[in-house]
Amino acid sequence: MRRFAALLLLVGCSSSSSSPAEPATDTGVEAEAGPEIGADVTVDGFVKKPVYFTGTDNQRVVDAEATFPKTGAYAQIILHLSLECPSGKCDAWDRFATLGVVTQKGDKPENDTVLELARFITPYGVGAAWDLDVTDLRPVLRGPLTLRTFIDTWVGPGSAYGNGWLVNASFEMKGGVPEKEAVAVLPIWTMHSGVYGDPSKPLTGSFPEQRPTLPAGATSFAVRALITGHGQGNLENCAEFCPRDHTITVGTTPHKEKIWRTDCATTAAPGQKGTYKLSRAGWCPGADVRPWVFDVTAEVAGGAKFSYDAATYVNSCRPDAATCEGCSLGTDCKYDGGNHTEPSYFVSAVLIAYR
C-alpha cells in the first residue's frame, strides 16, 4: 500500500498528538421509548459514486445524504457495500478505505467529526462486495444524516493504473427487537493514526485516555474497535507485516488482541493479482476489516476510563535513529513513500450502550 500521506486531513479526523476532540456523550440520539417495531426498509447511501484523483480533481473524499427511520426498533441492519470499476478499469492498487457518518460539522470539511461505521481495503484492480452487520450502530443511523467515504486512491480517469472506483452503500433494515438493543454509541477515539516504534511519538500520545459520559438506563456495554497497521520496510517490516498485541484498558482491566489476519488467501475478493494472499496487520487487500468487539459491562460500573497501546517496539530503521539498522527491504532509513513508509496504526473505537 503506497502514498498514504495526507489521508487524515482529507478524511476529516485529527492526527495530532494532543487529545482529539471527542464528543463526551452519545451522538445526540435518545433511547427509544417502548417496543415500537420499525417497518422493513432499505436506505440508499452511495449509488455508483465515483471516487478518484487526477491531480487537478480530487474526489478521494465524497459525501452522500441519507435519511434513516427516526423511530422504530430493528432486529438487523446490514450494510451492503460494494466497489465497481469505472469504464471497466479499477484502481490497480490496494487502498485504505473507510465509511462513516459525519456527526459534527467543523469550519471546513477536514475539521468535521466522522464516526467510522466500516473500514475496508480495496482489491488490486477488481471489484468487490461485502455484507456487514451494523445493527449495534442503530443509534447513529437515525433520521437525516451525511455519509462520508474515503479511499486513499491516487489514480483517476485517464490514468494508466485505472480510473478509480465506484462506491455503492445501502442499509437493509429488518424491523424487530434485537436480543440486545443498542441505545447509544459513544465515541472513544475517532479514526486517526498513531506512529508505531518512534520513542518521540508514543501511541499513547496519539490516543490519549478518554472518559465518555455514560447514558442513564443502559444495562450493558461493549467496545467496538477497528485497528489496522500500515507501513513497510522498517524493522521487522512493521506495521503492515508484523503481528502485534494491542491493548485497550478499561478502568484497570486490560483487554488484549493480536491484530493480524492469516486468512487473506481465502477471504479476499476473487480475481485480483498482487500480494493479496500475504498476512497483514488486521486487513487483507479486497476484504472488510473485522471489528474487535468485547464486553466491558463490569469495567465501566461507576464510570468509564479508556486507554490504548500496542506491544513495545522501537523501529531502528527510521530517519532519526541513532544507528540505522534492521531495514527489512534493503532501503536506507529515509522514508521514500514506497518501499519504506513510516509504521503506524489507524484506530477508531466506540462504546456501545445496550438495554
Whether residues 167 and 188 fall in one domain: no
- Compute the average pLDDT of residues 148-166: 98
- Is-contact 128 269, C-beta < 8 A? yes
Over pLDDT 90: what percentage of the chain?
87
pLDDT for position 284: 98
Over pLDDT 70: what percentage of the chain?
90
DSSP assignments along 73-142, one per residue: BEEEEEEEEEEE-GGG---SS--EEEEEEEEE--SSGGG-EEEEEEEEE--SSS-EEEEEE-GGGGGGS-
- Compute the average pLDDT of residues 91-109: 95
pLDDT exceeds 70 at position 211:
yes
Question: How confident is the prediction for the chain on average, in pLDDT?
Answer: 92
Whether residues 174 and 187 fall in one domain: no
Cα angle 204, 207, 211; round to 5: 110
pLDDT exceeds 80 at position 146:
yes
Whether residues 236 and 248 fall in one domain: yes
pLDDT exceeds 80 at position 2:
no
pTM above 0.85, yes or no: yes
Residue type, 17: S
pLDDT for position 17: 38
What is the domain range of residue 156? 1-13+29-179
CA distance 255 to 249: 6
279 belongs to a structural domain: yes
Whether residues 175 and 200 fall in one domain: no
Whether residues 296 and 164 fall in one domain: no
pLDDT band at 109 (very low <50, low <70, confident <90, very high): confident
pLDDT in tens, 251-295: 999 999 999 999 999 998 999 999 999 999 999 999 999 999 999
pLDDT for position 157: 97
What is the greatest pairwise CA distance in the chain? Answer: 65
pLDDT band at 144 (very low <50, low <70, confident <90, very high): very high
Whether residues 304 and 210 fall in one domain: yes
pLDDT in tens, 5-47: 445 444 555 443 334 444 444 454 444 455 699 999 999 999 9
Whether residues 132 and 2 fall in one domain: yes
21 belongs to a structural domain: no
Whether residues 216 and 325 fall in one domain: yes
23 belongs to a structural domain: no
22 belongs to a structural domain: no
Write down which residue in 179, 198, 213 finishes a domain. Answer: 179
CA distance 304 to 72: 29
- Compute the average pLDDT of residues 101-110: 92
143 belongs to a structural domain: yes
Whether residues 121 and 228 fall in one domain: no
pLDDT for position 278: 97
pLDDT for position 12: 54
195 belongs to a structural domain: yes
Residue with cell 475539521: 111
pLDDT for position 110: 86
24 belongs to a structural domain: no
Map residue 151 onto helix, strand or coil: strand
Write down which residue in 154, 179, 204 finishes a domain. Answer: 179
Strand order in the sheet with 143-151: 61-68, 143-151, 96-104, 113-121
Whether residues 2 and 125 fall in one domain: yes
- The number of distinct structural domains making up the chain is 2
145 belongs to a structural domain: yes
pLDDT band at 302 (very low <50, low <70, confident <90, very high): confident
pLDDT for position 42: 98
pLDDT exceeds 60 at position 311:
yes
List all residues 6 or more positions away from 221 whose beta carbon is below 8 Å from its beta carbon.
214, 295, 296, 297, 300, 304, 351, 352, 353, 354
Write down which residue in 157, 179, 201 finishes a domain. Answer: 179
Whether residues 124 and 209 fall in one domain: no
CATH number for 39: 2.60.120.230
pLDDT exceeds 50 at position 175:
yes
Whether residues 38 and 167 fall in one domain: yes
pLDDT band at 238 (very low <50, low <70, confident <90, very high): very high
